[in-house]
Every structure is written in structure tokens, then in C-alpha cells.
Amino acid sequence: MKTIVNTLKTIALAATLFTALTTNAQKVPTSPYGADDEIGALNLLNEETVLDAVKLVKKGKVYRLGMVVNAETAAFRHRYFHIETLQPETAAAGSNKFTYVDDQLIGWTGVGSQINGLAHYGRDNVHYNGHKVEDFLTVSGVKKLGLEKLPPIVTRGIVLDMRSYYNQDIVKEGTVFTVEDIEKVAKKQGIEIRKGDVVLFYTGWTKLMGKDDKRYLAGGPGIGTEAAHYLGKKGIVAAGADNWSFEAVPHENSALSFPVNQMMATEYGVQVLENILVDELVEDKAWEFLFVLGHPLYEGSTQVQINPVAIK
């Protein structure tokens, strides 16, 4: 009888813990910027942050951070990209014989260099500022947290060379960047992470694209949850890397699925950037720069392809 009672107590305790964990997992903090906030940490940007970032431009050199995308571009799971080029009207018009060619895109917006907005990641279908998927998701786009709500991003950007730090041509998949790692790299490069920054990580991972797509898509290096909290509390507005995952895959805790991406969006309102080309910045040791991004304004989109620009 005593054994049965103890067993029942154990089951009851397990059920209580499960309920507590489930309830906790569903909790998403409210925005410090109010109930109507849909842009998260980008609220930190203003005229002053723009003017401060512009002061970083000394040479006028412009860096393209977006990659060329085609039907062969390695993409996450179900995603693909295809462009059709055609002439809707082949006959020349007017005495000047005017002709034109149009494009039609077929595929997913999350292929290649991209920004993943606050509607992209959630915790048990609850997204940034407590918005529930059931309330904002439609087949024709999201009604809350869409990327069309975001302002252009013009601020200070920094790149952290993790490839040199680990002394690896391509940082091994599953490598977790810790707070200590980040601080050491920043110190070595003579920079600091500030409120309003866009923080980019260089891992060498894009060297695999087109050469070993299977490995490229199977994992990757990146920050862990400790570093995610660290960056979020620093007040950065966006973070990204030269790989598809941004965070370490496999993750440091095998029970979790993409916790860093989830955390950045739901807890800190930070935009996540993926497949960002920072090789040239690293080659020039352009550790800090003016970061500029004006993304496509597809109404109701959760992620879109981008071509950010760095100016030094």
C-alpha cells in the first residue's frame, strides 16, 4: 500500500512539474514599449544613434553583405527559390520599338541572406509582446508583427571574427559561442558592444555553400542561450551570422529546439539575420561600421531576403 501511495505521489509531482514547465514555456514577456509595440528593440534607434553611426564612415568604402540567390542556393528544409523571366508582350510598341522583360518569383522568402522578424519565431504559438498565432496568422500574411512595420535600420554594426578566435578555417558545427568568447574577441578587436548595435558573427560557414550543402544545412556554430541573454540585455537591435542557423546546431541542450532564435525574438525583440556575408569586412579588419538595411515591404511577411550594406 505504501508503495502505491508513493507511486501516486511521484505521478502527481511529475504532473505538477509538467504543468508548471508547460505554463512557464508559454509565457512571453510584454514589451517595455507598450501593448501596441510591434518592432521590438528597434525602438532604441533614433536620430542620435544614426548620427553616431555615420561618424564611423572614414573611407567611404561600401560592402555588400547579401548573397546572390538562385535555384541552387542551399535552403532550410522545405524552402526553395525559382525565378521565371519572360516577355508578357513580345511585339514591339510605338515607333521607337519599345520592348520589356518581366520576372516572376516562385518560392519562399527565407532563402539566402534574410531577416527573420518577430512574427517568425514564437514560444508555443505565442510571439513577441504576447501576440498569439491564432489571432494574427492568415494565409495572406500576418496581421501583427509583419516586417512592413519595421523602419529602415541605420545604426552601428560590428563584426566578431570567431574564425580567427577558434583558429579554424570553418568553425565546427555545434560550437557554442559563450559570453567569455564574445568578450575576448571584442577586446582583441578593440571594440565594445553598445546599445543599438547590429552584431554579426564570422564563422567561415558560407564557404560550404555550393560545395557541401548537406553539411552546410545539417548544423552550424553560433551563440548559446547564455550569450543570447548577454546580447539581449546589452540592448542590441539585431544579430546575425554567415550561416543559416545563427545559433549553434546541434544545440548545447539537445532537449531544446532553436532556443536562441526563439529567445531573441520573444524575450528581447531582436531581429535575427542569417547568411550574411562578412568575409570582406573581416579581411579589411573593418570591425565597426555604418550598417544600413532597407528591406522589402511585403505586407504580412515574417521573413524576407535582404542585401544589407556596411559603409566604412
40-97 tens-digit pLDDT: 999 999 999 999 999 999 999 999 999 999 999 999 989 999 999 999 998 999 999 9
User: Which of the four pLDDT bands, split at 50, 70 and 90, describes residue 9?
Assistant: very low
Domains of the chain, residue spans = 32-78+110-311
Question: How crowded is residue 132: how many other Cβ atoms within 10 Å of its Cβ?
Answer: 15
Q: pLDDT value at position 303?
A: 97
| pLDDT of 8 higher than 80 | no
| pLDDT of 169 higher than 80 | yes
For the 32-78+110-311 domain, the top CATH level (class) is alpha beta
User: Which of the four pLDDT bands, split at 50, 70 and 90, describes residue 26?
Assistant: low
What value does the mean pLDDT take over residues 98-115?
95
Cell numbers 573581416: residue: 282
What value does the mean pLDDT take over residues 185-191?
98
Q: pLDDT value at position 160?
A: 99
197-256 tens-digit pLDDT: 999 999 999 999 999 999 999 999 999 999 999 999 999 999 999 999 999 999 999 999
